[in-house]
Amino acid sequence: MIQRQNLLISILFLFSSLFSGSILAENSKTFGDYIVHYNAFRSDTLTPEIAKAYSLTRRNNRMVVNITIQKKDGDTTKPVKAKVKGFASNLTGQIKDLEFKQILDGEAIYYLAQSQVSNRETLKFDIKITPEGETLVAKINFNQKFYTD
């Protein structure tokens, strides 16, 4: 289980950095005692095994949004459950609702959503995260351009 967790983490962050257009940017934001890590990437960059394990569709015209939430605990952090909801909109104003599903993998907790994308489509993501047991609503906004050719 830990090996699969480490493999997924490596794949998600490797491909997000390779295909994000901002290789050196760290995609995380701090809200009080919480750190939200986020990225979006084409789903065909996942291996067939990882896609199958997490019920993700692998296609060059599908993207995956990955959200993880960690709570600071002294010098360490630990993953926490949260309510994650959001949408993406393109430059013409079309809205793509994102249905996040929670993935529990050992101690890791991921929130994944998929949507269809077109070549050279830029999506603006608007995501709200509420850690379990909190009233805090963390808002993440980011843009991502996708290439499907």
Q: Sketch out the chain's domains with CATH numbers.
A: 2-146 (2.60.40.3340)
For 60-114, give the DSSP string.
TTEEEEEEEEEEEETTEEEE--EEEEEEEEETT--EEEE--EEEEETTEEEEEEE
Gap between the Cα atoms of 45 and 23, Å rounded = 16
- Measured CA to CA in angstroms, residue 10 lies from 4, 17, 26, 46, 123 at distances of 10, 11, 15, 11, 24
Gap between the Cα atoms of 43 and 35, Å rounded = 24
Residues 6+ apart with CB under 8 A from 87: 95, 96, 97, 98, 125, 126
Q: What is the pLDDT of residue 84?
A: 98
Q: What is the pLDDT of residue 149?
A: 84
Query: First CA to last CA across the chain, in angstroms?
Result: 34
Q: What is the pLDDT of residue 14?
A: 43
Phi/psi at 144 (5° precision): -145, 130
Q: What is the pLDDT of residue 137?
A: 96
Tokens, residue 78: 């630990």
Q: What is the pLDDT of residue 49?
A: 93
From first to last of the 149 residues of the chain, give the pLDDT tens digit. 445 544 555 444 444 444 444 443 469 999 999 999 999 999 999 999 999 999 999 999 999 999 999 999 999 999 999 999 999 999 999 999 999 999 998 999 999 999 999 999 999 999 999 999 999 899 999 999 999 98
Q: Which amino acid is residue 76, in one-letter code? A: T
Q: What is the pLDDT of residue 111?
A: 97
Tokens, residue 43: 């789903």
